[in-house]
Amino acid sequence: MNASALQPRPWRLTPALGLLAASGWSALAATALDPGSPLRALVTGLFLLGCPGAAVVRAAWPGAGGRSFGPLGAVVLSVTLSSALSAVTAVGLYLAGAFTPGRLIVLLAGLTTVLALLRRRGGPVLAVPRLPSGARQRRHLAEFAGAALLALTAACSGSPMAEQPTVAPKGAVSRPPNATADATASTDPVDQPAVPGPWHPVLHDAFSGPTLDPSTWTTCFDWNDGGCTNQGNHEDEWYQPGQVQVGQGGLTLTATRQPTPGSDGIVHPWTSGMVSTGRDSWNGTPRRTFTYGYFAAAIKVPADAEGLFPAFWLIPAESRSAPPELDIAEFINTNQHVDMNLHWQTADGGDGHVGQTTSAADFSTTYHVFAMDWEPDSVTWYVDGVQRFQVTKPSMIPHVAMELVLDLAVGFQEAPPAGVDSAQLHVAWVSVWQH
């Protein structure tokens, strides 16, 4: 990718980010108080123990930690990272013969401000389905302890927390033989993938019938219990079958600002629609699963993008949770950029993530074809037939059967503004080819 194409998604300064960015400078100002002042000890202590780590978690860990650690997990990880950063910085200053409390706070304040204001990229990882409360608490405690130990080890040793990705060179965008730089999409289905090969179609739906094809699609996630659910990323919507419409040659997923009681006991402020090739229930049989193939869909995203999260992606059929996860196209609070992401399980059992953002058009004005070629030795993403991103490192490539998902989430990272009460994701067609 050309560097000019790597545009960050829309971003705004929230009060919480402002407080985090200013926390270090408040601590520095507090050092001017009397050395015995309780306020000085409180302000500097809170900053050194929590704020640098919180900024690292926010900037480096998409979706509040990849997996959903929850508030307690975020606090544990932030305190651990802050303690490690403070110790490492203090030791470095001491060895350089330059240690003073003021210099320590200045360095950490600068780091915290930069990371707090950094524009994040990359999408979330699918949260694991709800478990019984006892099992869920035990699992969270294990994850918190493991994350804290891993973070402290990484900070003290200088080793990376996850295996570093190897991706295709980011020079000039490569194109398949039959693609052009100004390729555009229409609602007409394409006959073949953008890359040559002995392909044969295994799924094609132009949504031309009066209703959704029940042999291919369901309107809930696999783990629905007493009704549909949401994805689990602390989102505002609760999915309902009535938010899925087929007609006029396309599929429409509609998000509506409407209080909706969920089977989780929460009244969600929005209801929305999704489709999946998965199951009707946890113990059911998936309708369609895919291991490798070329996946494509013609999609038009909502014009009012703030607070919305349309996605076209793949989830493992057996585990029903990520990693691995293949995100063909994600639009988090934007219609100007598309995120293409891959999540894999690292050697230590954590979540590894690599992705790319590209800005080729306003994706809300007309249909565009978003596609991904998943092979045993590579995963390659395309927008309107033009290659945009590729991963070839063997340890990152998934080899498990997956279900296909299209959904319109609401409220991930930020809520829609007042005055926006509905939005629609339009899909003209979906196709899958395999060798």
Residue 325 near residue 313 (C-beta atoms within 8 A): yes
Supply the CATH classification number for the domain 200-434: 2.60.120.200
Q: What is the pLDDT of residue 55?
A: 85
Q: What is the pLDDT of residue 249?
A: 79
Report the C-alpha gap between 406 and 301 in whole angstroms.
12
Whether omega for the bond prior to residue 324 falls within 30 degrees of 0, making it cis, is yes
Per-residue pLDDT of the chain (435 residues), as tens digits, is 333 333 334 456 678 778 898 999 999 998 888 777 889 889 988 999 999 988 888 776 544 334 445 567 778 888 999 999 999 998 888 788 777 888 899 999 999 998 888 755 444 444 444 333 343 344 444 444 444 444 444 444 333 333 444 444 333 333 333 333 333 455 677 778 989 889 999 999 999 999 999 999 999 988 776 668 776 668 899 999 999 999 887 999 999 999 999 888 889 999 999 999 999 888 889 999 999 999 999 999 999 999 999 999 999 998 877 899 999 999 999 999 999 999 998 888 888 999 999 987 899 999 999 999 999 999 999 999 999 999 999 999 999 999 999 999 999 989 999 999 999 999 999 999 999
Q: What is the pLDDT of residue 227?
A: 63
Query: Token pair for residue 157?
Result: 């040793």
Per-residue pLDDT reduced to its tens digit, 310-322: 999 999 998 877 8
Per-residue pLDDT reduced to its tens digit, 54-99: 888 877 654 433 444 556 777 888 899 999 999 999 888 878 877 7
Report the C-alpha gap between 206 and 199 in whole angstroms.
19
Eight-class DSSP state of 144: H
Q: What is the pLDDT of residue 263?
A: 81
Helix 70-95 / helix 38-60 crossing angle, nearest 10 deg:
110
Residues in the chain: 435
Eight-class DSSP state of 395: G
Per-residue pLDDT reduced to its tens digit, 244-254: 999 887 999 99
β-pairing, 308-316 with 386-391?
Answer: unpaired
Query: Token pair for residue 9?
Result: 């998604």
Query: Where along the chain do the CATH 2.60.120.200 domains lie?
Result: 200-434
Report the C-alpha gap between 333 and 351 in whole angstroms.
23
SS3 category, 30? helix
